[in-house]
């Protein structure tokens, strides 16, 4: 029986999402064995903590645990660093020196970014995995070592093998068990836990009061893609706490700090719940986009005047002497419906009924989306209007028009 909570506490790992708990369960199954482990995940996703959890929950937990960042060691000295060297084996080798593998004897060695190792070194790593044997640089005597190898990479090693950049035999020896670390975007349910942990720890170390993030700020952070994963999130939390020292972090602060102003953050996406059926989620997103399309069509109707000129009355940022026109080769007289859609490739205009898409009318789309959003937000009309990108007055009018009642 795998004790997930115990494993997480052993290394300070947090996360309550299904993705994290499934990963920890696999760690619990693999850790007590002696097989090699390959950890795969994006940069900053927490691969080193997973490796530490494997060691801490193994039979070697009281033995050495050596961490080696393969990408940080120059190719010319990586073999000396890993396997050690004999005195006089190269310029500067003034004495015998043990390498990382000997230092990890009886324990575990974590080879981070193993995809960065040179092909020549990969051959020697394979020998260590298979036989527990290696040669120090400049030595002729074989050394024996008892060590468990845990490796990690953010590269696609299958592609590296196919391109001849990584040894196939080494890859298959490493991937006996592969632990996939989920990217932050795949377990946003845990984001508030990370924010609280990072905020409290940073505040305690730097004597900064951590007053938390508003729910709107956290939701906006979930709309960001976080390419640097948990590492980027940690750096962000620490930096914004310094810049906004003593304040509770609001949505506006997050938007500005992440450079999201004027982007999707101005119209935050509807909440998408992880426990929802994927078909329901997809349908809801489609309905939302259809509603926005309807709104955009209506705005275009209001903007376009009979002579083809676009009114400036709704854009105060344009200079007063600026006039925007439709393309000159596209005729649009005052009798044409402004909602007609232009076929860009052929230069023709084809009429499409904006009131319906397929067999679903736009009124039905609006009705269903407004009703479902009200239900999710406990009939809070202000939050519903904000989520849908509508004014409260427009929302009230729509509720009355569709005769929507509280559920």
Q: Burial, 242: exposed, middle or buried (Cβ in 10 Å; 0-12, 13-18, 19+)?
A: exposed
Examine the pLDDT at 214 and tell me if it is beyond 80. Answer: yes
Chain mean position to CA 343: 37
Nearest to 151 by CA among 63, 22, 81, 48: 48
The two beta strands, 356-357 and 360-361, are: antiparallel
Examine the pLDDT at 356 and tell me if it is beyond 50. Answer: no
Average pLDDT along the chain: 80
Nearest to 287 by CA among 401, 404, 370: 370
270 within 8 A of 373, measured Cβ to Cβ: yes
Q: String of b and e for 326-354 (b: at least 16 CB within 10 Å)? A: eeeeeebeeeeebeeeeeeeeeeeeeeeb
209 within 8 A of 200, measured Cβ to Cβ: no
Name every residue whose Cβ is closer than 8 Å to that of residue 333 and which is 6 or more positions away in sequence: 306
131 token code pair: 């036989």
Q: What is the DSSP letter of 97?
A: B
Examine the pLDDT at 185 and tell me if it is beyond 90. Answer: yes
What sign does the CA torsion over 273, 274, 278, 282 have?
positive
218 token code pair: 């956290």
Q: Using one digit for the tens of pLDDT, what is the confidence trace for 173-183?
A: 998 899 999 99
Nearest to 339 by CA among 354, 360, 361, 349: 354
Where along the chain do its domains lie? 4-182, 185-266, 278-303+356-407, 304-354
Over range 91-104, report the average pLDDT: 88
Q: Which helix (H) or strand (E) holds 363?
A: helix 362-376
Q: Burial, 152: exposed, middle or buried (Cβ in 10 Å; 0-12, 13-18, 19+)?
A: buried
Q: What is the layout of strands, in order, in the sheet containing 108-112?
A: 65-69, 108-112, 148-153, 37-40, 177-180
Examine the pLDDT at 353 and tell me if it is beyond 80. Answer: no
Q: CA of 276: how far to CAs of 225, 230, 249, 272, 282, in Å?
A: 21, 25, 29, 8, 10
199 within 8 A of 193, measured Cβ to Cβ: no
Look at the domain 4-182 and name its fold: Rossmann fold (3.40.50)
pTM: 0.63
406 against 48, higher pLDDT: 48
The confidence band for 291, taking pLDDT boundaries of 50, 70 and 90, is low
The listed CATH number (3.50.50.60, 3.40.190.10, 1.10.40.60, 1.10.8.60) that belongs to domain 185-266: 1.10.8.60
Examine the pLDDT at 51 and tell me if it is beyond 90. Answer: yes
């Amino acid at each position: 029986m795998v004790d997930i909570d115990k494993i997480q506490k052993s290394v300070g790992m947090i996360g309550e999402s299904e993705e994290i708990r499934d990963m920890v369960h696999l760690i619990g199954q693999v850790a007590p064995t002696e097989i090699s482990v390959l950890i795969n995940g994006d940069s900053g996703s927490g691969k080193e903590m997973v490796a530490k959890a494997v060691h801490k929950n193994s039979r070697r937990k009281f033995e050495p645990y050596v961490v080696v960042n393969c990408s940080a060691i120059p190719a010319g000295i990586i073999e000396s660093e890993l396997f050690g060297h004999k005195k006089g084996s190269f310029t500067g080798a003034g004495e015998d020196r043990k390498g990382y593998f000997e230092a990890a004897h009886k324990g575990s060695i974590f080879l981070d970014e193993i995809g960065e190792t040179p092909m020549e070194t990969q051959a020697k790593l394979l020998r260590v995995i298979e036989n527990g044997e290696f040669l120090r640089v400049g030595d002729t005597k074989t050394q024996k070592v008892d060590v468990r190898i845990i490796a990690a990479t953010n590269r696609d090693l299958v592609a590296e093998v196919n391109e001849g950049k990584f040894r196939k035999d080494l890859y298959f020896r490493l991937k006996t068990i592969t632990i996939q670390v989920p990217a932050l975007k795949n377990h946003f349910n845990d984001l508030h836990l990370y924010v609280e942990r990072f905020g409290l720890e940073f505040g305690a170390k730097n004597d900064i009061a951590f007053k938390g993030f508003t729910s709107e700020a956290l939701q906006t952070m979930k709309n960001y893609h976080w390419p640097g994963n948990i590492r980027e999130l940690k750096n962000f939390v620490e930096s914004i706490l310094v810049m906004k020292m003593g304040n509770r972090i609001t949505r506006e602060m997050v938007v500005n700090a992440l450079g999201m102003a004027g982007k999707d953050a101005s119209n935050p996406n509807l909440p998408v719940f992880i426990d929802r059926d994927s078909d329901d989620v997809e349908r809801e997103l489609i309905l939302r986009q259809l509603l926005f399309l309807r709104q955009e069509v209506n705005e275009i109707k209001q903007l376009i005047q009979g002579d083809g000129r676009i009114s400036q009355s709704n854009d105060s940022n344009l200079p007063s002497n600026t006039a925007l026109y439709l393309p000159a080769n596209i005729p649009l007289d005052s009798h044409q419906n402004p909602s007609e859609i232009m076929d860009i490739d052929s230069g023709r205009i084809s009429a499409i009924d904006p009131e319906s898409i397929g067999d679903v009318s736009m009124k039905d789309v609006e009705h269903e989306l407004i009703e479902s959003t009200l239900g999710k937000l406990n009939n809070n009309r202000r939050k519903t209007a904000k989520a849908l990108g509508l004014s409260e007055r427009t929302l009230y009018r729509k509720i009355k028009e569709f005769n929507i009642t509280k559920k």
